[in-house]
Structure 1
Amino acid sequence: MILARVKSTSRITVQNTIERSILRTRLIDHLVNSLNVPLPEATERRLFGPIAFPGKATAVIGIRRAGKTTFLHQIRRNRLQQGIAQQRLPHINFEDERLVGLTVNDFSTLI
C-alpha cells in the first residue's frame, strides 16, 4: 500500500510540474508578446488625481466594459513618452484563455 501511495503522489507531483511548466511558458509568451506589440490607438482621456506612485505597481479595477484596459494602455503610452523603455511596461490580460487554470498560488510560484 505504501508503494501505491508513493507512485500516486509522484504522478501528481509530475503532473503539477508539467502544468506549472505549461503555465509558465504561456505566461512568458504573453509577457513577451505584450512587449513586442505596438500599443493600440485610443482616444486620450483626461486623468484626475495621482494615478501612479514611485516604486509601486499600477492596478486598475472596475466593472466590466468600463475601459480599464484602454486606460492601462494610455498609462503605458504616457510612460513611453516620458522615456521609460517598453520592456519595463508589460501587460498581462488574465482573461486570456491560455492562462485559464492559473491560480494565485501558481502565479506566486512562477514569480
Structure 2
Amino acid sequence: MGIAAEPAFDKESLRRGLEGENPDILLSLYADDAEFRIVDRTTQPSHPKVLHGRDEISRMLEDVYSRDMSHKLERCVIEGDAAAYSESCEYADGVRVLSESMISLRDGKIAEQTLIQAWDE
C-alpha cells in the first residue's frame, strides 16, 4: 500500500484565483483559520493589518475584486510548505500596484500570508 500524497498547492490554481474576477476562487485556496498580514504605506511593519480567518479574508477579497482593476501573477515559487509570489495590478485610470507575498502552506491551503504592497503616487 502506498503513502497518500498531501493535497497540492500549485501555481496554476493561484493564477486562476488571482487573475479571475471571482474572489471565491482565490478564497478557496485559504485554510479556514488562515492569517493574512498586510504591510504598506498606511499599515507599516510595526502595525500591519492582520486578517484572521476566511470570513475576514473574504471581505477584503470582495472589496479588492469589486474595483475596476486587473491582476496578474508575475512570478511564483513553491517549495514544500512555503511559497512566494509577485502580483501586479492596474486600475482603470492607470495607477499600478505591486505586491510581494510570502505564504506558509498546510494541507495544500494557505495558512499564513504576509503581503507587502506599494502603489503609484
TM more than 0.5: no
Q: Which of these two proteins has the greater Rg computed from alpha carbons?
A: 1
Structure with more contact order per residue of length (Cα contacts < 8 Å, sep ≥ 6)? 1
| Greater share of helix | 1
